[in-house]
Structure 1
């Protein structure tokens, strides 16, 4: 039997059928809309006006208790939960309402998508509405990916225990796979960041003073800078952050290998004759690499990052597009890994870049393959330091090793069960004399041995 032969429910503000009647009614209305659109080449104006009238009448009869966070008495046996969520919270198949566990079949989400689909369809002129345009309209129900990264805000308990809940960990893993990047706020104590920043800002000024002889990346406004590898600056909350390792090991496997420890510093102009510059969009994976996750970068900004002080431009989702054919410049060159302009133009149409604000105390976990670009520091005098640690999959045969002062040993012994840390231990004076003489970013080899 066709849906046009099914009698619509009579809807009233005091409808005895409760939520079920309203949900069944809008499902029937949407079914008629879909049948009308896909069952013939064009939709007659009279039919379109009739369907629109059904939807309008349904909206008019909808009780106020359907509004998000409505406080009206709910009654018993209603299909919709008493508390509505503004987005799908992926919390599992159950909702707890006043100590009563009810199965949740996501009626709120179904309702939201049904109304959205109807609104999108009715925006089009009925005479221009064909099967093709209907299909395109229905396809837009799937929300276009946002350009902004997902930000996880751990609870006080998670922060105290240095471990994410299973739901927040799932969120991190999901968006690392989908977007190639996720942000976790409040993961690092500000006092530790301030202490390290007080040392690294003068170091950055020194490296900037070297000019063409400095370890700059693409341009002299972005420096490759190692943190001081001695005990008084080696804060476990920063360098071996447990939440960061929890996330990377969930993606890469147990005991990922930490073989790279450095930073990127966005520098304000040294003089009026050297205006701030941006980097080209590039990938740090400027070599033939696997097409599945093999390396994650843990970034820790020492201050809040904003577009003004040079927060990184991000092209979310592009780790899925990463390969050598998309790049210009050979590995080892200062400007290797640049993404071809035609690919950037095409990607903008689908999902453009963003330059997010990242709060102080956050960690950012990024797939090494993701397209990104260092941006100009437009501030007058604020140096923006962002630490960068790379965790490789335990099976990935990257030959690099850290060089740390011997007095750091006691600060990383406790992580041996969580992280594999290949280290060359160096005397304190020696390591302090060499850590500011490292190479630029693309001089490092992130590939693996045959």
Structure 2
């Protein structure tokens, strides 16, 4: 049942960081408090002026010029998931994995890290690096409303994604539809692919790699919430980092403009969560990763698989496995709900491997 406390749910909380906060990475206690409150209440907060615009423009220039060509690659994953099966132009496109382009204010943003460690505990761990591109020239088609989870989950913050917009976004170029506050009352029962079970001891994920199942939030849940907390489509400035609770309901909408709308994504989990997925990185990036993990204030840890070669970001396998292997956590999940499925490379038994 929805909370009795009513909110207007008109716009996300946007915290404009000062240039000093951005350059030093140290944000005020007031900004920390506002961000944490917004994350608990709304499931989302925008830290504006969090990234050097030179870095943003460099990444956008590179990724936008390769977007159309990448859309034609057989290895590219499209996040269509539309009700009528029409293409949405929404594809996965991750950041370059060249250490010279792995900017700290994107890969381990200090203001975001302060908020993350306050919500998830010390040393939040990144197990997923990718991006979401809404190709230009699409109209009407949209994703089903969903949360980025395909399995039974807790009802407290256990996974938070940081999204980096590389251009200004609005409804005019496909900003994401958000159902603010939906994370507070939701469980896996609200998902279309949830199958109730009488076996309270069921704690195993399905790894059959059948990713064609019904995916999204149940219609009756959407209509009940829409009556008192309808969705919004925000305006977000480039150089912002958006923190979103992974339980939050949302949907990718089409981009009718001529230019691609690119958003990078880094998923963080608590140090104790034991997500089996790893981020594939070249060994040349190891010093950077170790530096981010060893910094004194709000370190960010990467669960990484380093390979002795360059890694082409255009061919990294889409593998959104945000599951946990911590038995204590799994034993405490709601009972009578099937565990659901995870994305898993059955052929190799490996998580997040580079595309062959």
Question: Structure 2-normalised TM-score?
Answer: 0.79
Q: Is the 8 A contact 1:327 1:338 kept in 2?
A: yes
**Which residue does 1:216 correspond to in 2?**
78
Does residue 1:182 correspond to 2:19, yes or no?
Answer: no
Question: What is the aligned counterpart of 1:246 among 114, 134, 141?
Answer: 114
- Higher-helix-fraction structure: 1
Q: Is the 8 A contact 2:129 2:267 kept in 1?
A: yes
Residue 228 of structure 1 and its aligned partner are, at CA, apart by 1.6
Moved over 4 A (4+): none
Question: What is the aligned counterpart of 1:347 among 200, 225, 238?
Answer: 225
**Which residue does 2:179 correspond to in 1?**
315
Q: Is the 8 A contact 1:222 1:267 kept in 2?
A: yes
Alignment of 1:226-265 (within 5 A): 226-265=94-133
Distance (Å, rounded) in 1 between the aligned partners of 2:129 and 2:76: 18
Distance (Å, rounded) in 2 between the aligned partners of 1:195 and 1:405: 21
**Which residue does 1:444 correspond to in 2?**
320
Structure with greater Cα Rg: 1
Residue 275 of structure 1 and its aligned partner are, at CA, apart by 4.7
- 3-state secondary structure, aligned to 1:263: strand
Residue 301 of structure 1 and its aligned partner are, at CA, apart by 0.6
**Which residue does 1:59 correspond to in 2?**
none
Q: Is the 8 A contact 1:283 1:337 kept in 2?
A: no
Q: Which runs of 5+ in 2 are unaligned?
A: 81-86, 195-205, 328-356
Number of equivalent positions: 299
Alignment of 1:5-154 (within 5 A): 144-154=7-17
Q: Is the 8 A contact 1:221 1:276 kept in 2?
A: no
Tell me the C-alpha RMSD between the 2 structures: 2.0
**Which residue does 1:296 correspond to in 2?**
160
- 3-state secondary structure, aligned to 1:298: strand
Question: Structure 1-normalised TM-score?
Answer: 0.63
**Which residue does 1:306 correspond to in 2?**
170
Q: Is the 8 A contact 1:207 1:215 kept in 2?
A: no
Q: How big is each residue's C-alpha offset from its partner over 1:57-110, in whole Å with a ceiling of 9 and x where there is no partner? A: xxxxxxxxxxxxxxxxxxxxxxxxxxxxxxxxxxxxxxxxxxxxxxxxxxxxxx
- 3-state secondary structure, aligned to 2:57: helix
**Larger RCO (alpha carbons 8 Å, 6+ apart):** 2
